[in-house]
Amino acid sequence: MSTSGDIKVLIVGAGTAGLMLALLLELCGVDYLLLEKKPAFRPPSRACVLSAVSLPLVEQIGLLREIEDISLSARKFRIKRQDNVDGLVGELDASFAEQRYGYPILVMPRPALYNVLLSRIPKNKILLGKRILSMSQSDHGVLVRCADGSTFSGDVLVGADGANSSVRQNLYRQLYAVGTTPSTTLPLPMSVPGHVSEEENRPECAWSLMGITNPMDRNLYVELNQPYSDFVIMMTQKNKESIWFMPTANRRLLWSITTPIEKSGKALCDDGFKASEFGPEAIAEMCAKYQHLDCPYGGTMKDIFDKSPPHLMSKALVQEKVCDRWHGGRTVLLGNACHKFPPSAGMSDNINIVDTLALANRLHELRSNSPQEVRAAFELYQKEREPSARRALQLSKQLHSFFTEQGLMAGLSRKVNLSRSLFGGWDKTNDLIHKDRPQAIFLPMVPQRGEFLRQDPKPSSIPRRSLQKAHPGDV
Ligand SMILES: Cc1cc2nc3c(=O)[nH]c(=O)nc-3n(C[C@H](O)[C@H](O)[C@H](O)COP(=O)(O)OP(=O)(O)OC[C@H]3O[C@@H](n4cnc5c(N)ncnc54)[C@H](O)[C@@H]3O)c2cc1C
């Protein structure tokens, strides 16, 4: 094999991770096919927060301007209590990010991000309505089988199919069968079904109801007329709930209500596997529970729910976990398929995107599809990215408890952190996360920005391609 275009990559799942990988493989000339179970694109109705962790890559692939156009940059995090929405518990400055790491924190509706990514991927490279049921692999290649009876083969399989990944479940079953997966260390539902006892590992877990409003009335919601985004994070008193409001472009509000759940391992497992898609009843039930709460912009939460079209509201299971095993044979996991963080730090998409880049760099460098080379590439990918994922999990957990924990000690610690700037206090973790901002080795590097410099990899000598709009305005 002389060029990297000779291997064929099967990507399962067209979420942020799958789409970004497709786009990068498009750029570096590696052959790929993206298989998505949904019959039509319906991106999750939630926020997406991109920061200096992923924005250097976004700039490198030429999409920064478009991403800025669909976003607002975060200026402040304003913390309130639900029993006093006009008061303020404290305020955090988000502008530190631009000065220290060179890029603002951008908040956008996820569907808008998907549209930008989709517009750069040729239509014939994505097949919709392809739910992967099983996969097999050998020294020669991989084969996946879909629910509609179709099969696809390739050299490498990437499971970018989300937290309930069927690629991961298949892979772990195979690894378990040959005794290489430490089943007892995998919390549910990120586990091998049937191989984890009920008592063990109860990961922190929560429900989240999320939505995106239509553009809000500029006279009633005057705070949304600003050219930047002041997040409002509202804590409820007893239930550790946190309610987030993130203004974004065109006076739209991205919002979420997150509430913890306490369940046995078995119940959690059952919920986890069913929880990938909640129907309208589950959403209506949560809306009914919270609609009476005061809204920090005036009125009640019902006004916010009423302004959010049903197709832009969803309910999801929030989990936290970094899997120990990210690959096996010719199969590799990406994005939420191998790690999931609480959303408070907005880390998931940033880490997903950078993981995707690390994997694309390794696939670009593959010189043959021999099992040894493929395995070495995947080992290097996990070695490069797992420490960042674990740090991101740590930061996400810290922020999650900062915004939700109740009680005297939690209140005191919040006060201390607020008085000296929350992020100043956690610079070390933030710096460690921002140290890993790799660039694509197959594209010209973008200049360093900010006072905290990233470590650039050695550029590749393998020729690259330029990114064209695949189907402009067609999404
Ligand atoms: C409540 C909540 C709030 C969040 N808020 C934020 C936030 O503010 N900021 C942030 O950065 N991140 C946030 N996240 C995290 C973010 O949504 C995820 O990290 C991100 O969407 C994961 O991307 P992914 O591509 O790995 O998986 P997904 O987005 O889950 O995509 C997986 C894709 O695979 C497809 N698929 C699944 N199974 C199959 C199959 N068998 N065959 C074929 N296709 C399949 C699915 O249809 C889907 O399109 C939040 C997450 C939650 C749950």
Query: Which residues are 151's β-sheet partners?
Result: 145
Using one digit for the tens of pLDDT, what is the confidence trace for 379-399?
999 999 999 898 888 888 777
Give residue 458's pLDDT. Answer: 64
Instruction: Tell whether the model's pLDDT for residue 200 goes beyond 70.
Output: no
Quick one: average pLDDT of 413-429? 62
Which pLDDT band, with edges at 50, 70 and 90, does 453 fall under?
Answer: confident
Q: Which of 265, 286, 318 is the last residue in one of the domains?
A: 318
Same domain? For 209 and 192 the reply is: no
Ligand 1 mutation pick, 35, 113, 118, 161, max ligand atoms within 8 A of CB: 161
Q: Is residue 378 part of a domain?
A: yes
Residues 6+ apart with CB under 8 A from 71: 50, 106, 107, 108, 248, 249
Residues 6+ apart with CB under 8 A from 44: 15, 110, 210, 314, 316
Instruction: Tell whether the model's pLDDT for residue 155 goes beyond 90.
Output: yes
Same domain? For 133 and 9 the reply is: yes
Q: Which atom of ligand 1 is nearest to the CA of 349?
A: 11
- Which phi-psi region, left, alpha or beta, contains residue 421 (left: φ > 0; alpha: ψ -120 to 50)? left
Name the residue with the closest Cα to ligand 1, atom 41: 132
Give the integer Cα–Cα distance in Å for 305 and 165.
30
Ligand 1 centre distance from Cα of residue 324 (Å):
19
What's at 392, amino acid-wise? A
Structure pTM? 0.88
Closest of 318, 390, 353, 364 to residue 17, by C-alpha: 353
CA dihedral 161, 167, 168, 174 (to 10 degrees): 180
Give the integer Cα–Cα distance in Å for 457 and 441.
7
Query: Which residues are 142's β-sheet partners?
Result: 137, 154
Q: Is residue 70 part of a domain?
A: no
Same domain? For 334 and 390 the reply is: yes
Using one digit for the tens of pLDDT, what is the confidence trace for 304-342?
999 999 999 998 877 778 888 899 999 999 999 999 887
Same domain? For 277 and 419 the reply is: no
Q: Is residue 148 part of a domain?
A: yes
Name the residue with the closest Cα to ligand 1, atom 38: 161
Same domain? For 346 and 399 the reply is: yes
Quick one: average pLDDT of 451-475? 55
Q: Answer with the residue of higher pLDDT: 207 or 140.
A: 140
Inter-axis angle of helices 408-419 and 371-404, to 10 degrees?
100
Ligand 1 centre distance from Cα of residue 15 (Å):
6
Burial pattern 255-287, b for ≥16 Cβ within 10 A else e, equals bbbbbeeeeebeebbebbeebeebeeeebeebb
Could you give the C-alpha distances from 199 to 151, 182, 265, in angstroms and in order? 38, 16, 6
Quick one: average pLDDT of 194-202? 39
Inter-axis angle of helices 427-435 and 371-404, to 10 degrees?
160
The enclosing domain of 396 has a CATH number of 3.50.50.60
- Ligand 1 contacts (CB < 6 A) are 12-18, 35-38, 44, 46-49, 130-132, 160-162, 166, 208, 210, 256, 316, 318, 335-336, 343, 346, 348-349, 352
The token duo for 399 is 């922020």
Map residue 245 onto helix, strand or coil.
strand
Ligand 1 centre distance from Cα of residue 418 (Å):
31
Give residue 367's pLDDT. Answer: 84
Lowest mean pLDDT among 18-27, 105-114, 272-281: 272-281
Same domain? For 401 and 414 the reply is: yes
Bond into 189 cis (ω within 30): yes
Ligand 1 centre distance from Cα of residue 340 (Å):
9
Ligand 1 mutation pick, 349, 353, 399, max ligand atoms within 8 A of CB: 349
Q: Which of 318, 339, 372 is the last residue in one of the domains?
A: 318
Ligand 1 centre distance from Cα of residue 337 (Å):
9
Give the integer Cα–Cα distance in Å for 439 and 383.
17
Give the integer Cα–Cα distance in Å for 418 and 245.
19
For the chain, the domain total comes to 2
- By residue range, what is the domain housing residue 270? 205-318
Q: Is residue 96 part of a domain?
A: no
Ligand 1 centre distance from Cα of residue 316 (Å):
10
Could you give phi then psi for residue 302, rounded to 5 degrees? Answer: -60, -40
Could you give the C-alpha distances from 107 to 73, 211, 245, 264, 454, in angstroms and in order? 6, 14, 11, 35, 22
Give the integer Cα–Cα distance in Å for 387 and 377.
17
Same domain? For 187 and 251 the reply is: no
Q: Which of 270, 295, 318 is the last residue in one of the domains?
A: 318
Q: Using the 8-state DSSP alphabet, how is residue 351 labeled?
A: H
Q: Is residue 271 part of a domain?
A: yes
Same domain? For 21 and 156 the reply is: yes
Residues 6+ apart with CB under 8 A from 235: 79, 80, 81, 82, 89, 241, 242, 243, 403, 404, 406
Element (H, E) at 156: strand 156-159
Q: Answer with the residue of higher pLDDT: 447 or 414.
A: 447
Quick one: average pLDDT of 237-241? 72
Same domain? For 163 and 281 the reply is: no
The enclosing domain of 276 has a CATH number of 3.30.9.30
Same domain? For 116 and 169 the reply is: yes
Whether 347 and 396 have beta carbons less than 8 Å apart is answered as: yes
Q: Is residue 84 part of a domain?
A: no
Ligand 1 centre distance from Cα of residue 162 (Å):
5
Closest of 157, 178, 179 to residue 168, by C-alpha: 157
Give the integer Cα–Cα distance in Å for 254 and 262.
26
Ligand 1 centre distance from Cα of residue 112 (Å):
15
The token duo for 31 is 């052959």
Across the beta sheet with 142-146, the strand order is: 132-137, 142-146, 151-154
Give the integer Cα–Cα distance in Å for 75 and 118.
29
Q: Which atom of ligand 1 is nearest to the CA of 210?
A: 1
Instruction: Tell whether the model's pLDDT for residue 52 goes beyond 60.
Output: yes
Q: Answer with the residue of higher pLDDT: 238 or 314.
A: 314
Using one digit for the tens of pLDDT, what is the confidence trace for 14-40?
999 999 999 999 999 999 999 999 999
Give residue 188's pLDDT. Answer: 41
Instruction: Tell whether the model's pLDDT for residue 449 goes beyond 60.
Output: yes
Query: Which residues are 50's β-sheet partners?
Result: 106
Could you give phi then psi for residue 144, rounded to 5 degrees? Answer: -115, 150
Q: Is residue 20 part of a domain?
A: yes
Q: Which residue has tokens 């029993």? A: 83
Q: Is residue 383 part of a domain?
A: yes
Lowest mean pLDDT among 53-62, 113-122, 162-171, 277-286: 277-286
Quick one: average pLDDT of 264-277? 53
Ligand 1 centre distance from Cα of residue 352 (Å):
10
Q: Which atom of ligand 1 is nearest to the CA of 133?
A: 41
Quick one: average pLDDT of 206-219? 92
Quick one: average pLDDT of 267-294? 75
Same domain? For 28 and 148 the reply is: yes
Same domain? For 326 and 422 the reply is: yes
